[in-house]
Amino acid sequence: MSSENIVMEQVLVNGLYLGMQYALIALGLTLIFALMNVLNFAHGQLYVVGGFITYIIYGKLGLPFFVAIVASGVTLGLVGAVIEKFLFRPVIRKSVREESTMLLAAAIAFFLDAIILLLFGEKQRGVPKILDGVMNLDFVVIMPYDRILIAALAGSAVVTFILFMQYSKPGRAMRALAQDRIAAQLMGVNVDRYSMIGFALGAMLAGVAGGLLVSIVGVNSGIGGPVSIKAFMMVMIGGAGVISGAIAGGFILGMLESIGLTVLVAYGDLTYLVIFVSLMIFLSIRPQGLMGKPWG
């Protein structure tokens, strides 16, 4: 495609849409890192479980999409709470080495991969469209209505999460934990309780993202690993453990993809090559990411 054919409005809209879904995926990962200093390699697998729950409830049982999304979020929240209480908490208590939690997270990812394949099979799964029709603004911007709705729902989830973290008591407690765990404990914050709530919330966000996106891209049992990698990229761009950084990282990655896939199309698949090279250069200059603190 020649550059004169590029419709920048379409590129920007695609970038915003991608950014919205990416931000939602990355939020949970960065929350867990902020609270517990845990790199949750199983984040993508939690996303996949959320997708399959929506697939079963909406796609197979025929219940409303909204019910399926709530079920995905609640179920993953419970799964997250159980994982934190019975797996991460004992490991964090007994081991001062950070790699212990990393290995545990990797083990959970492999375990969930096997369980997901066991329960849901190897096939790609999809659900009926939640909205028919396409918005076509004189062929300058084309966007199916269901993508617009999903972007709006993802945006609402992000805003709700930010408000929760900003103004609710658990949100404030978790922010205090993220800033200084020991100081928060000295101020009376129940570390165990809010760590569990935080992990549950992170898992819930992954589940909601999976549930929302199954209506657009479907889901399959092997996609968890690649989703985790992409989520880590966003978190690294924005700054690990910083909520606003994850959102920024999601939008930056979405926009880079959208622009790259359009502008670089004539040169083959250079988009991700360029993104990865840019990320390496960026991290070598600013290893803490855009909004992260150099001291962690």
Partner 1 sequence: MFVNSFSKYAGLKASLMTAALALTSVHSPITLAANEVLKIGFVGVTSGPAASWGISNQRSMEAGAAIINDNGGVKIGSVTYDLEIVSFDDQKDPKRAIAGMEKMAQENIHYVVGPNVDDGAAAVRPVAEQNDIIYFPYAFPKSLYQKPASNAVLGMVANYQSGPAIYKFLKDNNGVNTVAFIAANESDPLTQRESGVAAAEALGLKVVSKTVTYQVDTTDFSPVIIPIVKLQPDLLVLSGVAPANAPQIIRSARELGFKGLISTETGQDAQVLQEGAGSLANGFISVGGASTPTIRTKNMEAFIARYTEMFGEYNDESNTKVYALEYIVETLKANPAAINNVDEFKKTMDTFSAPNQYLKGDQVLRYVGMSSFGQRRQLSIPLVVNVYNEGKFETLFIAEVD
In the window 254-273, what residues touch partner 1 (CB under 8 A)?
A: 257-258, 261-262, 265-269, 272
Q: Does 192 bind partner 1 (CB under 8 A)?
A: no
Q: Which residue has the tokens 């959320």?
A: 50
Q: What is the per-residue binding string for partner 1 in 19-58, x denoting contact by CB under 8 A?
A: --x---------------------------------xx--
Q: Does 164 bind partner 1 (CB under 8 A)?
A: no
Looking at 27-35, 71-79, 132-140, 165-173, which segment touches partner 1 (CB under 8 A)? 132-140
Residue 142 has which token pair?
A: 């084309």
CB atoms within 10 A of CB 12: 14
β-sheet bridge partners, residue 144: 134
Residue 43 has which token pair?
A: 């984040």
124/246 Cα distance (integer angstroms): 28
Smallest distance, partner 1 to C-beta of residue 152, A: 15
Q: Angle at Cα 43 formed by Cα 22 and Cα 144, nearest 5°? A: 30
Cβ proximity to partner 1, 128 vs 287, nearer residue: 128
243/51 Cα distance (integer angstroms): 23
Smallest distance, partner 1 to C-beta of residue 64, A: 18
Q: Does 220 bind partner 1 (CB under 8 A)?
A: yes
Q: Is 76 helix (H, G, I), strand (E, B) or coil?
A: helix
Q: Does 216 bind partner 1 (CB under 8 A)?
A: yes
Q: Does 155 bind partner 1 (CB under 8 A)?
A: no
Cβ proximity to partner 1, 64 vs 226, nearer residue: 226
Q: Which stretches within the chain are classed as H helix?
A: 8-36, 43-54, 65-83, 89-94, 98-120, 145-167, 169-179, 181-186, 191-217, 224-238, 243-263, 271-285
Q: Does 90 bind partner 1 (CB under 8 A)?
A: no
20/26 Cα distance (integer angstroms): 10
Dihedral (C-alpha) 249, 255, 259, 265: value to the nearest 10 degrees? 70
Smallest distance, partner 1 to C-beta of residue 144, A: 5
Compute how many residues bind partner 1; rule: CB under 8 A. 59
Q: Does 225 bind partner 1 (CB under 8 A)?
A: yes
Q: Does 11 bind partner 1 (CB under 8 A)?
A: yes
Instruction: Give yes or no for a contact between 205 and 157, defined as CB atoms under 8 angstroms apart.
Output: yes
Q: Does 98 bind partner 1 (CB under 8 A)?
A: no
- List interacting residues with partner 1 (CB under 8 A): 1, 5, 10-11, 14-15, 17-18, 21, 55-56, 59-60, 113-115, 117-129, 134, 136, 139, 142-144, 147, 213, 216-218, 220-223, 225-227, 229-230, 257-258, 261-262, 265-269, 272
